[in-house]
Amino acid sequence: MGAFVDFITNNILLIVVAFLSGAMLLWPALRRSAGGPSISANEATQLINREHAVLLDVREQDEFDRGHVPQAKHVPLEKLAADPSLAGKKDKPVILMCATGARSAKAAIALRKAGYEKVYNLDGGLNGWTTAGLPTVKSAA
């Protein structure tokens, strides 16, 4: 037991660095899972076409105006958090998106708390959508 205590004492800095490195590696996965399941852009299009999923863009108005998915409904995160019913019927799948997926994960948590069960986060957000080669449109100026 004394050898273990000596090891900890002599290598405390190494142990702290190892712990912090592990935490930084796990953080993105933990944040992603907190918002529920993520789906790719291609899976999202299938869900929209087959199950008439609602696609909600939770970015700010200026971001939405610069480019968005054609069939996306714009509901900023603050409005959706204040009134989850803006997502529509609870029995329909809801796909949430933002620029990268961080804000939409927060929106997913709010919808789940409000009783929505089929809530998905678009993996990579609008960046993931455009990387998949799918279309976007700009709002009229």
139-51-59 Cα angle (round to 5): 30
Of the candidates 53, 87, 98, 108, the residue annotated as catalytic is 98
What is the residue whose two structure tokens read 């089929």? 118
For residues 57 and 80, give the distance between their C-alpha atoms in angstroms, rounded to a whole number.
Answer: 10
Q: Which amino acid is at 106?
A: K
CB contact set of 20 (below 8 Å; sequence gap of 6+): none
Residue 92 contacts residue 56 (beta carbons within 8 Å): no
* Cβ–Cβ under 8 Å, residues 132 and 40: yes
Q: Tell me, yes or no, if 98 is annotated catalytic.
A: yes
The amino acid occupying position 24 is M
The token pair at 36 is 């529920």
Residues with catalytic roles: 98
